[in-house]
Amino acid sequence: MYTDKTLVCKDCGNEFIFTAGEQEFYAEKGFTNEPQRCKQCRDAKKNASRNREMFTAICASCGKEALIPFKPRDDRPVYCSECFAKQRGE
């Protein structure tokens, strides 16, 4: 049985939750190390390694600012990561 753990990001120093579900996923995949970075720092590291230009847009669902890897167009809605996941789940 897994329980949520609070970890500290090695890049920004902020605390983040390593959820029980994430721990179970890591175990299923055979990963033995816990994550070292929070989601924001993992995403930033991923994007930096891809050397991709990022654009700022406002989420059409919640109104929060979102970083996206493409230039937004006026004729199509843009969603933040959370709202995009909700849209895919519906």
* pLDDT tens sequence across 53-84: 889 999 999 999 998 888 999 899 999 989 99
Give residue 90's pLDDT: 65
* 1-23 pLDDT tens trace: 899 999 999 999 999 999 999 99
pLDDT given for residue 35 in this prediction: 96
Same structural domain, 78 and 42: no
Pair (18, 37) in one structural domain: yes
The pTM of this model reads 0.52
The domain of 42 spans: 5-49
**What's the domain count of the chain?**
2
Specify whether 31 is located in the same domain as 58: no
pLDDT value at residue 88:
84
Is 9 in the same domain as 21?
A: yes
CB-CB contact of 10 with 37 (8 Å): yes
71, 57: one domain:
yes
Say if residue 42 is in the same domain as residue 58: no
